[in-house]
Structure 1
Amino acid sequence: MSDLESDSPIFKFLLLGGLFLVMLALLVDGRRPGSWNSWLSNSLASTPASSETCQGEVHQEVVLSREKLAAFLTVSEREPKVRVQDILQQPYCQLPTLEVRANVVAERAVYPLAFDPHTWLIVLYEGEEYAGYQFRFQQGEGKT
């Protein structure tokens, strides 16, 4: 058999040490959204970035029902913007534009959920195409 048998204490120590180092690296990796380091930096941020506040007119009465959300989730990316707007109607507000890809300006529309007002559906448009969505969870501050 080899010098490092599976029952030797050195082998077990090396295996345990390697496993510990891998777990530590995964916890500290700030590039991963769910990592400890990214959670810590997000929890230390006291105020939302100015690019994440509503711009222009705010329509206080706008909320998104479960039915409209379900219909919206059937729309494929890159379908016409008007198809999404027909389902969702007028947004609560617009977030500032941003560049998701090089030289492509993206618009973002906000829709608070009727059944969870602290959760926003943010819809992304690139030109006249629907480009995706994300949910944003507000921390008890409600609509801004």
Structure 2
Amino acid sequence: MKQRTVEHPPLNPFLIGGLMLAFVALMFDFRSSAPLLSGSVHEACQGAVNEEVRLSREQLAQFLTVPERDSRERVSQIVGEPYCQLQSLQVRAGVAAERQVYPLAFDPQTRLVILYEGNEYAGYRFSYQ
């Protein structure tokens, strides 16, 4: 009786490299870098800071009904003066965007950041501490 042998194909170097990379990635603690990835790191205010500003639940609820591209004036009527301004940035090519910060009265660890492009409301995000 003849013994049957099974030949295994050689391992692909790309497969081995991919497995090693996956192993290293599993060993890395992504929780420590999560604020960097999500944009939730508190950025430094530019200029004056108004310590008395806090956004109420009612103001936040009313603000969330405002559609994007509405007037900056309408948003300002709802939220009032900002706590502070963040450094301007460029979200779209050739368009400077201003960002204003409003801490939430009911959650001091959370700030609402409102984005304006010129005289238009362009969006928002929450920043968590």
TM-score w.r.t. the length of structure 2 is 0.71
Equivalent residues in 2 for 1:1-144 (5 A)?
39-42=31-34, 52-138=43-129
The CA deviation at 1:42 is 3.5
CA–CA distance in 1 between the matches of 2:36 and 2:122? Answer: 30
Q: Distance in 2 between matches of 1:72 and 1:44?
A: 27
Identity of paired residues, percent? 58
How many residue pairs align between the two structures?
102
Listed as ranges, the gaps of 5+ residues in structure 1 are: 1-20, 29-35, 139-144
Structure 1 residue 62: Cα displacement: 0.4
Q: Deviations over 1:86-112 (max 9, x none)?
A: 000000000000001111100000000
Structure with higher Rg: it is 2
1:132 and 1:102 mapped to 2: Cα distance? Answer: 16
SS of 1:85's equivalent? helix
Quick one: which amino acid aligns to residue 41 of structure 1? S
Query: Whole-Å Cα distance in 2 between the matches of residues 55 and 37 of structure 1?
Result: 32
Question: Taking structure 1 as reference, are residues 44 and 76 closer, same or farther at Cα in structure 2, changes over 3 Å only?
Answer: closer
| Higher relative contact order structure (alpha carbons within 8 Å, sequence separation ≥ 6) | 2
Are the structure 2 counterparts of residues 44 and 66 from structure 1 closer, same or farther at C-alpha, using a change threshold of 3 Å? closer
The alignment's C-alpha RMSD in Å is 2.5
Moved beyond 3 Å, runs of 4+: 36-40, 42-45
Listed as ranges, the gaps of 5+ residues in structure 2 are 1-18
